[in-house]
A = this chain, B = another copy of it.
Amino acid sequence: MNAIENSPLARKLMAFVALSAGELAVLERLHQRRRTFAAGRDLVHQGQPEQAAYILSEGWVCSYKIQPDGSRQIVDFQIPGDFLGLRSVLLQASDHSIEPIMQIEAAEVLADDLITAFAETPRLAMAILWAASRDEAMVVEHLVGLGRRDADERMAHFLLELGARLELVGMGSKSGYDCPLTQYHLADALGLSAVHVNRVLRQLREDGLATFRAGKVTFDNYDRLVALAEFDPAYLDQARPFLK
């Protein structure tokens, strides 16, 4: 069994604050109710009251909203080290649904667990608030980018953001990363048709920028891809520790 400091969440939070042994012990306790979930079965339903939050330790999930007309809009994907439903554990009813893309492992966290952990270590509370701030900064970046970026730029930005997030938890690099998403996931998240996604990916590949094939994203020319997307990772705030 891995030590808690190697867990994806600890690796992520350590980009913000150097957690002490005591703080890591509190974080470990938040991981105690480990659960396995199958692909395609919602962990959290939109409108569900009093649901738990989860710390994702293995696998990927997508968060989505069902529209009044029944259509589905993917808001974002979560990767190991991300909280699932952290926003909703404090809201009376979840404002979104969460579905595993593959079999996942996640630790269940109740509102009371958070209150207890916060009481013991306010620095951990700040680190979790930082992670929530970063999640919100991503949604804001997506909102602002939606009207401004064309399909190529949007795809490039999306692949680069995912790469940066995965690198933070040791699952990606400037060469690329393993990616379980289908073209349907990409289409739902980027507001494109599956045919359009296919065309955009082919263009990126033919231009020698990036290749997404057989569950793997390869950055063929990282710097040119960054230039195309005008990708500035400052909003991901993963450059250095802040609180010693």
Contacts and interface: CB of A to CB of B under 8 A. Distances in A.
A24 B86 CA distance: 25
Interface stretch (A99-107, A139-147, A205-213, A215-223): A139-147
A94 to B, nearest CB: 9
A196 to B, nearest CB: 14
A125 interface: yes
Interface residues of A, number: 53
- Copies of this chain assembled into the complex: 2
Interface in A105-126: 111, 114-115, 118-119, 122-123, 125-126
B235 A91 contact: yes
A158 interface: no
Contacts of A129: 90, 125, 128-129, 132
A129 B136 CA distance: 12
A234 interface: yes
A50 to B, nearest CB: 10
B93 A130 contact: no
B92 A140 contact: no
A113 to B, nearest CB: 11
Interface stretch (A1-9, A25-33, A67-75, A168-176): A67-75
Given A65-B144, A87-B133, A96-B140, 5 more contacts: A86-B133, A87-B137, A95-B235, A115-B126, A132-B132
Interface of A: 16, 47, 65, 67-69, 71, 73, 75, 86-88, 90-93, 95-96, 111, 114-115, 118-119, 122-123, 125-126, 128-130, 132-137, 139-144, 146-148, 191, 230, 234-235, 237, 239-240, 242
Across the A-B interface, the 6 shortest Cβ-Cβ residue pairs? A118-B122, A119-B122, A87-B133, A90-B130, A95-B235, A136-B136
